[in-house]
Structure 1
Amino acid sequence: MNDSDSEYEETEYLVYGDFQNNLAPHQLKREDAAIKIIGIEGDNPTAEINGSIFKGSYDMAMGTYLFFEKDNNSVPGDPLFEPVCRQQYKYVTKTDKIINFERIYVENLPQEKQEVKEEDQNQTEAKTSDSALKPNITYKEAINKFGDEQ
């Protein structure tokens, strides 16, 4: 382990995100759901979930939100006195902040503007590729310059 590895620390934060019924439960059932969050440390984070885009804002919760995780080491209770639960959970942490997400839609630019931009980009690429391939001095000048440097 070198010094550069010890400089970095990883910190995990649990954040409660409220999508206000704009996100169907079946969109998150798959374990490979595509979730991307940008700008979580800023005032207005943006989330993309399976192609849907959401704009967020921080707010204080009306109460406390608790986070639990599955407890694989739980001791089963006595079935005579306690109801049998299939899965036991244990407390992890709590939060009083919440991110309220609202669905936003990104519209396509009109076709005319896109075509003009593509033409400008193609012309710029052609100019750069032509100038990169053309030498700025002749063969004789290069030989003379090489001879002068020695």
Structure 2
Amino acid sequence: ADIMRRLRQQGAKHVTLLFNQPDLEERLQRLALTHPDRDAMMQAYKLVMNALKMRTTVSIKELLSAHAEQISEQAVKIMEELGFIRYNNGIIEKAAIKRCSLEDAPLYVTLQQERERLEHIYKENYRLSQHELLRC
């Protein structure tokens, strides 16, 4: 069967082929940034709150450029959904902080489901041999 034809029929717009352990690790590391888990959210929260200690507002561009490997815009949006910050026109400011669960943020839940699905795909892809992928 022609795997590429089947992928196109199923609506695939992007296919990632992983052939070695470093490829897999790099993909999983990027996924941790774009789909932050609990640990990544704790780190992002600390970065944002530390930045807001110094002044009342922070530019998202400034924050992301200073901490590109530690925080993503998705993490900022999750913090906004939880009410920790206000985020408007690229500017972040502190809001009233209340105790809540990360699962209270719809974006967090959605990203975790997608992360789980992508991790499964990446790991399955890695398990396939290069020969199996290229013979199709």
TM bin, normalised by shorter chain, reads: under 0.3
Q: Which has the higher contact order (CA 8 A, sep 6+)?
A: 2
Give the TM-score normalised by structure 1: 0.23
More helix by share: 2
Give the TM-score normalised by structure 2: 0.25
Q: Which has the larger radius of gyration?
A: 1
